[in-house]
Amino acid sequence: MKTKECNKKVKKMFPEHQELIHKLRHDDPHFAKIFESHQELDKEIAQLELNPVHLINDDIESMKRKKLKIKDEIYKILTRTAQVVDPS
């Protein structure tokens, strides 16, 4: 995914953790992998939804559920890491 496009998505997804996301993408291979998986699923879903034939499609719904699970995992990592960095 293009860096500029990815940066726009990051700003919308967990804006309060933007700096931490950039740091973890660079420092944590697992985080970088799941973050990229989320971005790829997002892109794939968007492409499928452009075609009206695919609008009612169980595969798209399955992909959306998978993307949401990944997003939940990303959020858990972010909140856990943020607590370690700033345990206030």
pLDDT in tens, the chain (88 residues): 455 555 566 668 889 999 999 999 999 999 999 999 999 999 999 888 887 776 667 788 899 999 999 999 999 999 999 888 766 5
How far apart (Å, rounded) are the C-alpha atoms in residues 6 and 3?
5
For residue 37 the two structure tokens come to: 């998986």
Kindly report the pTM of this predicted structure. 0.78
For 24-35, the DSSP string reads HHHH-HHHHHHH
